[in-house]
Amino acid sequence: MSQEFYRIKRLPPYVIAEVNALRHAARQSGRDIIDLGMGNPDLPPPPHVIDKLCEVARKPDAHGYSQSKGIPGLRRAQANYYERRFGVSVDPESEVVVTMGSKEGLASLATAITAPGDVVLAPNPSYPIHTFGFIIAGATIRSVPTTPDERYFASLEKAMSFTVPRPSILVVNYPSNPTAETVDLAFYERLVSWARENKVLIISDLAYSELYYDGNPTVSILQVKGAKDVAIEFTSLSKTFSMAGWRMGFAVGNRDLIAAMTRVKSYLDYGAFTPIQAAACAALNGPQDIVAKNRELYHKRRDILVETFGRAGWDIPPPPASMFAWAPLPPALAHMGSLEFSKQMLEHAEVAVAPGVGYGEDGEGFVRIALVENEQRLRQAARNVKRWFQQMGVNTPAANSRAG
């Protein structure tokens, strides 16, 4: 007898998984697929971080249950990071909790603070956990745009005027995944003022805090005076220190939200493996040159991608931050839609990208391209794409017979 489970029925098929399955099958058959689909860093963590992991793992007493909210030293290290990077003071005891990556943290917070029927404002397109974490918890999602302009604030006002019950939570994600859009402090000041006036809690996902380009550092919503009254913010070591598989993240901010999340987590987990937490301390407290080095490398990859794909006939706006480019489909192939385009590109150009529709219906017409291959592979991807475009009759620049 087949069972239909309430929460499973609320989850649609994961569109991006369709392309992932095709990529896996192609690789299994021996084809050389250049994978620009998943945001999985290809760089190693700093050596001193790995050394600390090994050192602590050799200790006989390091293998028991850890602390769900994070070991005190790691919470202090994260508080020091916020002071050093943003000039924001946070109490490591009551305003910081360690998460198993920001994805788990967002899901745990949704579980802690959402009642069935609550209305949550979330960006469209968005990283899936920003909507489905709350859907799993029983909430209803009302979409708002990602572009931080007047239309964004108009949509917030419209949502508050015409939604029943009134929205109680707003999710923001800048630099955005998938669009790579960024905001300045004035945007957050206006947003915090709006949230306080409307009694809305803000959840900020700042996973790409250190991947910014062209000399424009990202800002934290907690830099706004009074933001901790309404906001909580998530960061991660996944991209900053190339520690994606280590699952190390943090939530910082509003004490009530931190307390609720900490209590739920205490029922769900015993915290990350202690040696990993110790290594995370080494990452945050140790030399920070690797952060700038990684930023420069992703910046160079961004420029190579934009240049070589442009010569292949695909104009891609240079992202101001994150490890992704949000690329509009070439006009001659836009009729395919992002999912079919991604499938065809995988099959005929042997390049994997993520279809924009997988991030929400407003992502249709785009694909997300991850900067997770080296310079040579990016140039090869551009050559493959150019060859496919020519086969499809797409006009490519005649000045160059090669892209790269």
pLDDT in tens, 179-190: 999 999 999 999
Show Cβ contacts of residue 246 under 8 Å, excluding neighbours closer than 6 positions: 45, 237, 238, 276, 279, 280
For the chain, helix, strand, coil in percent to 5 are: 50, 15, 40
Pairing of strands 96-99, 249-253: antiparallel
**Predicted confidence (pLDDT) at residue 367 exceeds the cutoff of 50:** yes
pLDDT in tens, 310-351: 999 999 999 999 999 999 999 999 999 999 999 999 999 999
Q: What is the pLDDT of residue 402?
A: 45
Q: What is the pLDDT of residue 399?
A: 38
Q: Considering the entire predicted model, what is its pTM?
A: 0.92
User: Using CA atoms, how far apart are residues 335 and 404, in angstroms rounded to an integer?
Assistant: 27
Q: What is the pLDDT of residue 186?
A: 98
The dihedral formed by the CA atoms of 365, 374, 402 and 331, expressed in degrees to the nearest 10? 0
pLDDT in tens, 263-279: 999 888 888 999 999 99
- CB atoms under 10 Å from CB of 397, counted, come to 12
pLDDT in tens, 380-395: 999 999 999 999 888 7
Q: What is the pLDDT of residue 351?
A: 96
Q: What is the pLDDT of residue 1?
A: 54
Are 311 and 370 in contact by the 8 Å Cβ rule? The answer is no
Are 36 and 352 in contact by the 8 Å Cβ rule? The answer is yes
Q: What is the pLDDT of residue 75?
A: 97
